[in-house]
């Protein structure tokens, strides 16, 4: 999932039985199901969803990570701030360096590519329509650079 999608994810988007979540897509990504890969994330999302449903009368339409009435830029900024804190406190970013959600996306894209050997799988996982974009995200250069081609 991308930060632009996380702020719009609702309780009804969760499909915990099949360990996945529906994402709405963005201007650069396609709407799709994203897998929930570990039991911990499923447990935490189930607890969050249960809490929201108990506190609300609008069954299933509650957003999981942001306030539903917030403008798009504020939702994404909130998600990015939280991501940055998680990345820094989790030791993903080196001390003194800035951390961005894209760091996690690149890491996951490389992992998907390593596991499957397919750039198309990276594109599907991230909702990307460009295989070149998926390759860049995974850190894979499938075409030699101009400098390499000249040697």
CA distance 56 to 78: 22
CA distance 101 to 137: 12
Residue 66 near residue 9 (C-beta atoms within 8 A): no
CA distance 73 to 41: 26
The predicted structure's pLDDT at residue 131: 92
Q: What is the pLDDT along the chain (151 residues), one digit of tens a residue?
A: 778 888 889 999 999 999 999 998 888 888 999 999 889 989 999 999 999 888 877 666 788 888 878 888 888 888 888 877 777 777 766 666 666 777 778 888 999 999 999 999 999 999 998 999 999 999 998 766 666 555 5
The predicted structure's pLDDT at residue 109: 92
The predicted structure's pLDDT at residue 145: 62
Residue partners of 137: CB distance under 8 A and separation at least 6: 105, 106, 109, 122, 126, 128
Give the residue among 52, 79, 76 at the shortest CA–CA distance from 64. Answer: 52
Name beta bridge partners: 135: none
The predicted structure's pLDDT at residue 114: 95
The predicted structure's pLDDT at residue 139: 92
Residue 32 near residue 50 (C-beta atoms within 8 A): no
> Do the bridges between strand 32-35 and strand 20-23 make them parallel or antiparallel, or are there none, so unpaired?
antiparallel
The predicted structure's pLDDT at residue 19: 94
Q: Tokens at residue 121, please?
A: 């799988």
The predicted structure's pLDDT at residue 113: 96
């Amino acid at each position: 999932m991308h930060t632009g999608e996380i702020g719009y994810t609702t309780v009804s988007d969760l499909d915990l039985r099949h360990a996945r979540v529906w994402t709405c897509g963005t201007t650069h990504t396609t709407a799709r199901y994203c897998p929930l890969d570990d039991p911990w994330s499923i447990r935490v999302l189930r607890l969050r969803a249960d809490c929201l449903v108990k506190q609300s009368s609008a069954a299933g339409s509650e957003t999981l990570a942001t306030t539903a009435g917030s403008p798009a830029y504020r939702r994404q900024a909130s998600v990015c701030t939280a991501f940055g804190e998680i990345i820094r406190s989790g030791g993903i970013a080196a001390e003194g360096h800035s951390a961005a959600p894209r760091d996690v996306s690149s890491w996951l894209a490389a992992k998907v590519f390593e596991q499957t050997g397919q750039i198309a799988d990276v594109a599907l996982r991230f909702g990307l329509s460009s295989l070149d974009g998926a390759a860049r995200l995974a850190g894979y250069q499938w075409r030699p650079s101009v400098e390499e081609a000249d040697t």
